[in-house]
Amino acid sequence: MDYSDLVTLGIAFGLGLLVGLQRQHTDNKMAGVRTFTLIAILGTVTGFMARDFDNPFILPVFGIAITAFLVIANIVKLKKFDNPDVGQTTEVAALLMFAICAYIVMGDRVIGIIVGGAMAVLLYIKEHLHDFIERLKDKDLKAIMTFTGISLVILPILPDETFGPLDVLNPYNIWLMVVLIVGISVIGYFIYKFVDTKTGIISNGILGGLISSTATTVSYARKTKNAKNLDMMAAFIITTASAIALVRVLIEVGVIIPKKLPEIILPLAIEFIVMVALCAALFYKINKDNDDDEMPEPDNPAQFKSALIFGLLYGLILLAVAFTKKEFGNQALYIVAIISGLTDVDAITLSLSQLMKNGGLETHTGWRLILLASLANLLFKGIMAGVLGTKRLLKWVGITFGISILSGLTIMWLWPETWHF
């Protein structure tokens, strides 16, 4: 007896129950838990027959038969009910269930399980999905379409080979980094769309860090000019967003060089903990009666112009890092990290990660450069907060960012090379 086939049959039975349960819960008249379970078993048995008898025609014959039954059922529904549901969701789900259960026999079982589970979740979140779509604005649809174009249209057609001086400019690799950065920002942006704008200052800081800590700093610094008693709350959100930006840096490093992440994560995590402690201290001091915690509407994070600018900036930093390392050695990279970090910490993080990935930079030097770029970015945001915001905001941001910069420099100076996971 082939116990693998029994496992396959059990998986199909479970998927049929899962999807059928969801359909029957919505009071669907076409197919419920029993029908979907039977369709799942039929798909599996049909797959067994096609495989064992080596007959490629068995699957399409049974697929056509199920389609005919669904057509007949719809005709009966149209004649029986005065206002029948003309949606095709259940019919498509039934055909997909048959195909999935046949595929877990003839193809990859894991992919079949993933598709079946995803279908069940998609059917379940129908109302939430419709509500989300109704809340979308034109700029939200533009963000989706722009990111689709960036990731699925432009990326595949770019050449995956190096060009130019120092042999470091790879168009495919550069644009892949653009997709990564824009993708992180888009995820943060649509998390914002799922939650209310008045979800509390902690959520505002976290979402601001995911979308753009620099944009969050500018928005809240400007708000302090037009509202009273908002300075400490704005300082908390700006500091929280900057702390989350460190998590964003770790995500980028983890994507590029996951094998070296254990050597990098600990010192950056210590700096993150320091900033979280400062956020906690600010949160403790914030006036509980202050309810003006609405998060400003963020800009579209998937603008093609911004993506193109980031790609050009990333390419320039790749050249700068390679040229500096070749002509002046690793020590000169600290100057590049400071200058680059002032404007965009993502680009220098990705550039240094690529250099560590290729073996051109030691890990213990690489994480120090990344941390230095993050500290330079803190300094830049602190200056912006002082220029755009009030003196009281500058005071609180100066305290939190000053302590963060000092702690980061101390970590860079005193951290032993042997301390890592």
d(CA 241, CA 229): 20
Confidence of residue 271 (pLDDT cuts 50, 70, 90): very high
For 39-59, write each residue's pLDDT tens digit. 999 999 999 998 888 888 888
More confident residue, 188 or 277: 277
Pick the closest to residue 216 from 304, 305, 295 (CA basis): 295
Share of the chain above pLDDT 70, in %: 90
Range with the lowest mean pLDDT among 75-79, 272-276, 345-349?
Answer: 75-79
Confidence of residue 303 (pLDDT cuts 50, 70, 90): confident
Length of the chain: 421
Pick the closest to residue 302 from 190, 383, 160, 404 (CA basis): 190
Q: What separation, in Å, do the N-terminal and C-terminal C-alpha atoms of the chain show?
A: 47
Task: Give φ, ψ of 169 to 5 degrees.
Answer: -95, 105
Confidence of residue 29 (pLDDT cuts 50, 70, 90): low
Residue 142: partners with Cβ closer than 8 Å, 6 or more residues away: 300, 302
pLDDT of residue 133: 75
Inter-axis angle of helices 3-25 and 109-124, nearest 10: 10
d(CA 20, CA 36): 5
d(CA 403, CA 287): 23
CB atoms within 10 A of CB 87: 10
Residue 196: pLDDT above 60? no
For 323-345, write each residue's pLDDT tens digit. 898 888 888 999 999 999 987 89
Tokens for 59?
């699957």
d(CA 329, CA 323): 9
The predicted model scores a pTM of 0.77
pLDDT, mean of residues 258-263: 92
Q: Would you say 248 and 210 are in contact if contact means Cβ atoms under 8 Å apart?
A: yes
pLDDT, mean of residues 138-158: 89
pLDDT of residue 28: 61
Confidence of residue 155 (pLDDT cuts 50, 70, 90): very high
pLDDT of residue 31: 67
Residue 211: pLDDT above 70? yes
d(CA 275, CA 291): 24
pLDDT of residue 289: 47
Range with the lowest mean pLDDT among 109-118, 120-129, 355-364, 368-377?
Answer: 120-129
Residue 63: pLDDT above 50? yes
More confident residue, 300 or 398: 398
Q: Would you say 205 and 237 are in contact if contact means Cβ atoms under 8 Å apart?
A: yes
Torsion of CA 363, 367, 369, 371, to 10 degrees: 180
pLDDT, mean of residues 382-387: 93
- CA angle 221/223/226 to nearest 5° reads 125
For 225-252, write each residue's pLDDT tens digit. 877 778 888 999 999 999 999 999 999 9
More confident residue, 396 or 185: 396
Pick the closest to residue 298 from 187, 192, 182, 146 (CA basis): 192
Q: What is the three-state SS of the chain?
A: CCHHHHHHHHHHHHHHHHHHHHHHHCCCCCCCHHHHHHHHHHHHHHHHHHHHCCCCCHHHHHHHHHHHHHHHHHHHHHHHCCCCCCCCHHHHHHHHHHHHHHHHHHCCHHHHHHHHHHHHHHHHCHHHHHHHHHHCCHHHHHHHHHHHHHHHHHHHHCCCCCECHHHCECHHHHHHHHHHHHHHHHHHHHHHHHCCCCCCHHHHHHHHHHHCHHHHHHHHHHHHHHCCCCHHHHHHHHHHHHHHHHHHHHHHHHHHCHHHHHHHHHHHHHHHHHHHHHHHHHHHHCCCCCCCCCCCCCCCCCCHHHHHHHHHHHHHHHHHHHHHHHHHCHHHHHHHHHHHHHHCHHHHHHHHHHHHHCCCCCHHHHHHHHHHHHHHHHHHHHHHHHHHCCHHHHHHHHHHHHHHHHHHHHHHHHCCCCCCC
Range with the lowest mean pLDDT among 28-32, 180-184, 269-273, 384-388?
Answer: 28-32
